[in-house]
Each structure stands twice: as structure tokens, then as C-alpha cells.
A and B are shown apart, each in its own frame.
Chain A
Amino acid sequence: MTAQARSTRPLATLALGLLAGLALGPAPAAAQRAESCIGISMEVTGPLANQGLMLRIAIETALDRINGAGGVLGRPLRLVIYDDVGEPARAVDNARRIGERDNCVVMFGGARTPNAIALREPLAEMGLPWIGAISAGTGVIEHPNGRNEWMFRVSMKDRWVTEYLVQQAKARSQNGKIAFVYEGTAWGQGALPDIEAAARRNGVALAGRETFNIGDQDMSAQMIRLRDAGVDTVVLWAVDRESANMLRSMDRIGWKPKIVSAWGLTTAFARAVGPLADGIMVAGTFNWNGPLSPEAQAALDAMKAKFPDRIRTTADLEQPSAMANAWDAIFILAEALKIAGAYDRTKLRDAMFRVNYTGIVADYRPAFIRGNQERMDAVLPEAYKLQAFHNGMLMPIEATPYGMRN
């Protein structure tokens, strides 16, 4: 339908096309001298405000360490925070603010996947590198057009998480009846195709798929259907509050399947449902309980020192994996800037592919691989860890009675 008038205005179209090309192509490279700030758009207010807070704690502590040691390229790295209340439209606004107004050298992502997905175009248009520590949706990094050039992630990738969870569920299910329960958000709905694909790959036929909405207080109907279908293992993809209500719905009808969950569950969940949480397994990238490497211990101590009111014990690290991811992400960024040699966005982007770094989550050698958008995710499935709730704490599974022997 748009083909019509091209032939009637060739010259103008050509000129326009040239101009457009000039604007979108080399222009970013020319104007890439940037400020030494990291701009972040995340949930400062709204229902995910706590996740935003945890992110801020990890990032600010990491920056303190870096700036305390002299900063990067002789300058301290600043953090500029904008609130997007978890709304994609605001995230886009903030991205432009960070990219054009503040002219930061890099943007850091918030918690939600749809916010990150909405940034694909604006980031490419501005030539602004972006790094995320949560937003695990596969499509954030693996763009449908195959050409992600600016978005990096030190986090989980839902396609890999789903594979991981399905395998864990398959290994633990007695009767092979596995169901998928997910929240009706972009994160939850986005995981469904990945789960289906993972199930197929692993020879699992899902015995049920159920969903519920944020704010729902009772999931009896869903649980009854699953129970009546004979399901004994549930792959869960939801956040604390609704999962807690789901647990209570299960408790009412006297049904307790094994549950392997994505990283939506935190210690807040355990505190809310008490003993019902015991035995529920959660996939993550890091656990702060148990033996820590010196670097991780230093990070924990630094966070406790900087935020004494909020971080008193490891249980206060409500987003354990995300915070570890963010920590590593900041240091990877610093590395890349050093390799780039200048506060220049394109140079930084190119340098990201040359980073080799040992972090607290994994050994990133290399962190990212050029030309392979699947590998613009730094954390590989080998680094995924299984944890379980035990006595109200989220522990590495080896430290609980719920290891594979059971």
C-alpha cells in the first residue's frame, strides 16, 4: 500500500532517504563524546519499587568501590536515576533523556522486561549502549530482526531459564505430570513459548498451563484443575505476593506439588507464607548464603556498610541474583571503559566485546561475543544455580535437605 507514490517523486524521496541515512547512520558516531555518567531508568516508585531499591543498593556500592579506587579514566562515574514506574513509555522517555539531555556514556536497565524491549529502537537510534541486570526476557537481547547492536545483559535469559527449569522439573517429577503456572504480565506471558519449546526439546508433555493476574488473591480454580489433572511438579513463573496467595490456595485444597520457580520468588515470599515455602526451589545466578569468594564477601560487607539500615543480614538482599548481576555488570562496564580509552559511546560498545573479567557470578571470558546476539548475554546457563527455601532462608540447594537425593 505504500508502494504507490514512490515513482512520482523519485528525487525528493532520494534526497530524503540520503538525509535519513545520514541522520541515522554515521551521525551517532560523530557525536559520541559522552559524560561520565550511567543513566538508569527503573522502578523507583510503583509495585516493583523494592526491586529498584535493591538494584540501586548494589550499583551505588559498586560505584563507590570503583570511584574510591580513582574512578575510570581518571574521572568518577556518576549515577543518574530516573523513575519509570515500570511503564515502558516512560522508560523510552528516560532513555532519550539519558542519551540526549544528560548525554551519558551508557544506560543501565531496570527490572521489567517490557520496558527493556521498548528501548530497542530508541537505543539504536541514539547509539546508546545499554546494560541490564534483571529484565530476563529473551527478546530483550535477541531482537527479532537479528541485529542487536547496543543492548548487553549480565542476567538470566528466559530461554535458558525455561530449559533449566524444565530439566529440573523433569528430574524431580515422580509421575511425569508437569504444569506451568505463570503470571499474566509480559514477563510471565513471554515465558510461555519458551517453556513450550523447552518441554518439547526435553520430551515433556505439559499436563497443565495456568495463569493469574497481578493483584489476584485466590487461585483455587487454577489449583483445582491442576490437582485434578494429577500434576505433581509445577514450574512457577511469578513474583512474591501472588505466589504467596497461590501457595495458600494450594494449602486450602491440601495439594503440595514440587515447585521449581524462576527468580520471581525472594525472601519476602518466604516471610509471607512461613513454613509453606519450605522446599520450593528457585533458579538464580547467585546466592549470598553459604561460602563466599573474597570478592563476594567484600561486596556484601560494602553494601552492609553503605546501607546499614536496609542491609543487615543476607536475608535483606531481597533480589540476591539481581544484585550480584548488577555488581558484575558495573565492573564489566568499568573494564570496557578502560579498554575503550575514552568516554565515547561507540568505542565503549566496541570495547564490551573485548572484556574478559572474573566476577562474583561467573568467569566472563569473554563477556560478550560480537556478531552473535545470543551471546550478548554474559551469564551462561552453566552458571545458573538452584536454590531452595529452608527455614525462611533462600539457600543453595546443597545446603538444604532438598537436593537431588530426595
Chain B
Amino acid sequence: MSGKALGWLALALFAAVLAAFPWTGDLIGERWPTSYELRLVIRAMIIGIVVIGLNLLVGFAGLVSLGQAALYGLGAHVAALLSLRAGFSFIESMAFAVAIPAMMGAVLAFPTVRVRDVYLTVITIAFGLVFVNILRDWVSVTGGASGLANLPRPTILGERLLATRAASFNYYYIVLLCLLVALWVQYAVAHSRYGRALRAASQSENAARALGVNVVAVRTLAFAVSAGLAGLAGGLFANLALFVNYETFTFTASIELLLMVILGGAGTMAGPILGTGTLFAAQQFLQGLGEWQTFGYGLLLVLVLFLMPKGIVGSLAALRARMVAKPEARETSAWPNWGSGLETITAAPDERGQVTMAASGLTLRFGGLTAVNSVAMEVRSGTVHALIGPNGAGKSSLLNVISGFYRATEGEVRVFGQAVANAPPYALAKLGVARSFQNTELFGRMTVLDNVLVGAQPHFRSGFVETILRLPRFRREEREALAEALRLLRFVGLSDFAAEEARNLPFGHQRRLEIARALALRPKLLLLDEPAAGLTHGEIEDLVKLIRGLADRGMTVILVEHHVDMIMAVSDRVTVLDYGEVIADGTVAEVQANPRVIEAYFGAGTGNGPQTEQTEVTA
């Protein structure tokens, strides 16, 4: 049975067991579960919902939040206050319990997605502490340290919601339903462009941006969704305990939530369930240690982190992979493989000869260093324009300005006729500018296929709701993107490697993958930053064929390179930079004979320019 089908079966089994749980007593003839066990399971399910949200944040987006308990607490207090003080009904207060934390999550995202790693975590910690402080000391609203007690029992349409047999455990089933919904949201987001974008942004933010991912927006979405789930859980908790105070939502609770994510396996579908269940069970078991139970808890965690760093699901998956592994014969096909569907590689090719990119007076300064000095350059469609020069001449810097990663200090860049002075990389990607990086910035932990799919990001029109509900337009777009991705893989000869993790590919294949990924954007302007570096002679020849083929089909290619043979073979025009200035611009022959170019490469006093017989030029 395929892994996917196995997963669905496991989920169905899990739901069935949970659904039957309250009635176990009828089957075995004993009074079990008592309200103790029942409420324990309900609380575990509620915490599971929070952990699912946190898994999205930590496991997919790579944003380590240690303030999730505060969002959980916000939901609980919103629900409590609305039902206690304002007489809201269960449904109404729950709706706000989801909405307000979700908005708070989006607000919290604002600072956090702009800073790195530990700083982000520190901000979430600070948020959590501020929240607890407010809960504890704003006595008139939150009841202060005593909290809010005697919350009204929730009802729907007049029926009381209780976790008791008398009410047929209706509240238990409501919580179970919410858990299943949360699992669905997790699945729907993860297996969509949002999930891919989040994972891409966490593995290589620059590459993600260059492929049209609005990193800030997608991370804000992740925060909002995870906060909404936390708020949902909070509302459910308030209506279960009928008592809320700050002590349930402290920094320690945030740590426990994070631990459940990691224990289960961050970034996996079943991780949150397993992590929550295991930690709950461990807490019960540890009670027997008396005053050493907290110590035992810490020790258990350390053991788990040492022995199962990938979490339970991760370790099981690795085990399974090792057992199931059969050596597959994977063939690397020749490339470029111009097959069907790739006649026009761009969505709407420009007419040949039009000005695609024009830079004038472009200057880039870093403090005291001028990397690019008053550069003027014009690139036309259907041509390959090489950008060469000694190391440190400013070639990559220029490329970064054109692709939106650096902001020019002076001057102007026009792409497809539009001025793009302050445009962020993802906007340029949407415009049709794609690029590769000097160090292949692949999304190492994503599959080859997923890497290419990220490039399709700007082509999706379906929104968040359509994605969650799996509406027809979403399904169609996913199908089409998948087909296109497979086509592109065939194009670069990596069809057999579709399911392989990108970081496991040999270097040459990685370069191919990067090209395929960039082409998924259907770009009109392709910027290649030293694509031949590290390739064998044969691979370079393939690359030349590819670039020429792309240009012939209407694409504009700007190529930064050191391999002189390659430049001669493939370029229509060459611009030479030295110390940030253009010292020559013309056809290959013109540039080769230019004395300033010769001087730049070899110094004064020699008569030869870069020759094809020389080995590659490195100044």
C-alpha cells in the first residue's frame, strides 16, 4: 500500500478509536473511562490543535515561536470574557476566539518575520511574557491572578454541551471534530503552494524570493493560521474547564507545546498527534516519581532529543526508508530535451530585438565601497548577453540589483519598459525575471519535483479559502503545475530523480535542477550567475545548447561567467566590467580585441586578450 493511502487509513483508524473511546465502558463492562480519563483525552485533543498550528509555524515555516501559549490563552480569555460578561453564545464566542488570536498572530508576524532565528524566538517569548503580565495584573478585566471562574455552560441551539454520558458526550465530539478540522487544515496548507512556499522560504529565503514567493506575506499567513488554531483550542478549553487564569498559559506551557512538536516530528502530518499523546502519557506516568517528577520530565526530554532528533514520526520514517530501500536504477537523460510543450518556454515571448532590460547611470555603494559605478547596459530579447570581468568587478552585484536583491544607490533599471528601482525580488519574479545563484540555492530538503513546483508560485490564482476547501480551480491549477513541472524535469533530464531530496543530487544535477526551477517561472528574462562553475566539459556543452535554445525561442538571457570558451560560443553581446565600471560593450570579437579589456585581465604590457586556448581566466 502506498505511503499516502497508509496515512489516510491511519487517520481513519485514529478517528474511529477516539470516537469510540467514551463508550468503551459499555464494551468491557466497567466504569471506564471515568470523567478523569475522558477529560484528559479531551484536553489532549485540545492541546493537539494548538500543537498542529505550531507545527505549521515551526515545522514548515521554520519559525520557532515560544509564545504560542499566549495565543492559546488569548483565545481562551476572549471566549471566556464574551460568554461571561457579554452573554455571547457558544458559537459566537468561539468565532471571536478564533478571529482575534488570528489577527494578533498576523500582528505578531510583523516584527518576527523581519528578524532572524533566535531574535524571532526572543520576540515571541517577550510577547508571551507581556501577555501573562497583562492577564495577571489587569484585574478588572481578566480577574487578575484569580482568573475568571463560573463561566456559563456552553449550549448550541439550547442543548447543553457537556463531556458527560448524559449529554452523550456531545462536547467530546465537538472537540474531536475540531481536531479533525485542524488536521485537515494542516494537510491542506502543507500540500499546496503555501506549504511549499513556507518550506522554501525556510530553506533558502533568497531563492524563494527570486521565485516569486512573498516571504513576508506567506509567513504572516502561517502566523495567522497557527494563531487561529491556537485560539480555537483556547475557546474549547475555556468551555471545558469553565475557568481560565494565566497559569495555564505561561512560558513553561509554550515550551511544552514546542516540545510536543519536536517530539512528534516537526514538519510531519502525524507528528503533532504523536507528540501530544506521548507527552501527556509521560506526564501521567511520571506522577509516581513524587518530588522528582519534574526532574524525570526534563530527563525524558533530553533522552528523546538525543535518541530521536527527528521526532517519533521522523525516526520511524527514516527506519522505514532504510528497510524498504531498494536500489533504484535512475537514469540521467540528456539535456536540453526539447520535447512537446516546450516550443515556447515563456508564457508570451517578446518580439526579437526588443529592449528587455536597460540600465542607465546605475551606481551601487556599500558604505565606502562602490561596487557598481554608473553602469549603462542594454539587453535585447532573443539574445544572450554575457557579463564578464575580473573577480570583484561588480558582476554579481549588478545582477543582484537587476533582480531586486540590492537597491541601487543611484541610477535606473528598466525591465520590460518598467522602472524597477525599489521592486522586491518577488515582484520582479512575477514580472518575468528569473535567476540562478552563484552557490546553488536549492531547497535542499524538498524533493526535486517540489523544488520545481515552487517556481510555479506566481501562476496560481486560487486563494487561501479555495486551497483549504480544495475547490475545483485549486485542483486544476495544481494538476497543471504538476504537469508543467514534470515536463520541465524531462527537459533537464531529471525525470527519474523527481522524488529525490535536492541535497542528495550530484552537483551537475543540482545545476540542472536550478535551471528547471527558474524556468518554471516562465520567465522572459533569465539571469544566470556563473552557471558553468564546477561543471564538466560535456556538461558545459549541454549548457551552451540550452542557453542558445532558450534565446532562439524568445527568451533574454544575461549570463555572468568566467568560462571564456563558453562565452565565446554562446553570447551575442558582451559587457565587460572592471572595478564596477563598464570598460567595453559589444560583440564577442570587438571585446576580445579591446585593449582596455586586455589590460584589465592581464595587466599592461601584453598584446593578447582572453584567448580560447587559455585555461579559464581568473584574475
Are B245 and A1 closer than 8 Å at their CB atoms? no
Distance from B157 Cβ to chain A, minimum over Cβ atoms (Å): 4
Are A189 and B247 closer than 8 Å at their CB atoms? no
Q: Confirm or deny: A171 has a beta carbon within 8 angstroms of a beta carbon on chain B.
A: no
Instruction: Tell me how many residues of A have a C-beta within 8 Å of chain B.
Output: 52
Are A16 and B146 closer than 8 Å at their CB atoms? no
Residue-wise interface mask of B (51-95) relative to A, using a CB-CB cutoff of 8 A (1 in contact, 0 not): 000000000000000000000000000000000000111001000
Which residues on A sit within 8 Å (CB–CB) of B36?
93, 96-97, 99-101
Q: Confirm or deny: A44 has a beta carbon within 8 angstroms of a beta carbon on chain B.
A: yes
Are A96 and B247 closer than 8 Å at their CB atoms? no
Are B294 and A45 closer than 8 Å at their CB atoms? yes
Q: Which of A5, A87, A184 contacts B247 (CB 8 A)?
A: A87
Partner-binding segment picked from A20-28, A195-203, A299-307, A396-404: A20-28
Distance from B248 Cβ to chain A, minimum over Cβ atoms (Å): 5
Distance from A272 Cβ to chain B, minimum over Cβ atoms (Å): 22
Distance from B136 Cβ to chain A, minimum over Cβ atoms (Å): 6
Q: Confirm or deny: B165 has a beta carbon within 8 angstroms of a beta carbon on chain A.
A: yes
Are B34 and A20 closer than 8 Å at their CB atoms? no
Distance from B309 Cβ to chain A, minimum over Cβ atoms (Å): 28
Are A45 and B293 closer than 8 Å at their CB atoms? yes
Distance from B466 Cβ to chain A, minimum over Cβ atoms (Å): 33
Are A186 and B245 closer than 8 Å at their CB atoms? yes
Partner-binding segment picked from A117-125, A360-368, A378-386: A117-125
Interface residues of A in 154-184 (CB under 8 A from B): 184
Which residues on A sit within 8 Å (CB–CB) of B157?
4-5, 8-9
The CA of A320 and the CA of B40, in the complex, are separated in Å by 36
Determine the interface band of chain B, counting residues with CB < 8 A from chain A. 35 or more
Q: Confirm or deny: A208 has a beta carbon within 8 angstroms of a beta carbon on chain B.
A: no
Partner-binding segment picked from B147-155, B315-323, B603-611: B147-155
Are A114 and B160 closer than 8 Å at their CB atoms? no
Tell me whether A1 and B37 are in contact in the complex, defined as CB-CB below 8 angstroms, given that A45-B293, A121-B242 are known contacts. no
Are B159 and A1 closer than 8 Å at their CB atoms? no
Tell me whether A16 and B137 are in contact in the complex, defined as CB-CB below 8 angstroms, given that A97-B36, A186-B146, A189-B144 are known contacts. no
Q: Confirm or deny: B355 has a beta carbon within 8 angstroms of a beta carbon on chain A.
A: no
Distance from A4 Cβ to chain B, minimum over Cβ atoms (Å): 7
Are B248 and A89 closer than 8 Å at their CB atoms? yes
Q: Confirm or deny: A278 has a beta carbon within 8 angstroms of a beta carbon on chain B.
A: no
The CA of A16 and the CA of B159, in the complex, are separated in Å by 8
Q: Which of A5, A49, A121, A189 contacts B291 (CB 8 A)?
A: A49
Distance from A193 Cβ to chain B, minimum over Cβ atoms (Å): 10
Q: Confirm or deny: B162 has a beta carbon within 8 angstroms of a beta carbon on chain A.
A: yes
Interface residues of A in 133-159 (CB under 8 A from B): 144-145
Distance from A339 Cβ to chain B, minimum over Cβ atoms (Å): 28
The chain B residue sitting closest to A27, CB to CB, is: B166
Q: Which of A2, A46, A89, A189 contacts B155 (CB 8 A)?
A: A2
Tell me whether A24 and B149 are in contact in the complex, defined as CB-CB below 8 angstroms, given that A45-B293, A92-B241, A186-B245 are known contacts. no
> Please, could you name 30 A-B residue pairs with CB atoms under 8 Å apart, sorted by A?
A1-B89, A2-B158, A4-B158, A8-B157, A12-B159, A13-B159, A22-B166, A23-B166, A44-B290, A44-B291, A45-B293, A81-B290, A83-B287, A86-B247, A88-B247, A93-B36, A96-B34, A100-B34, A101-B36, A114-B145, A114-B245, A117-B146, A117-B243, A118-B243, A121-B242, A184-B144, A186-B147, A187-B145, A189-B145, A213-B136
Q: A8-B157, A87-B248, A184-B145 are in contact. List 10 more A-B contacts (CB 8 A).
A: A4-B158, A6-B158, A16-B167, A83-B287, A83-B290, A87-B247, A96-B34, A100-B35, A120-B149, A186-B145
Residue ranges of A at the interface with B (Cβ–Cβ < 8 Å): 1-2, 4-6, 8-9, 12-13, 16, 19-20, 22-24, 44-46, 49, 81-83, 85-89, 92-93, 96-97, 99-101, 113-114, 117-118, 120-121, 125-126, 144-145, 184-190, 213
Residue ranges of B at the interface with A (Cβ–Cβ < 8 Å): 34-37, 39-40, 43, 87-89, 92, 136-137, 139, 144-147, 149-150, 155, 157-160, 162, 164-167, 241-243, 245, 247-248, 287, 290-291, 293-294
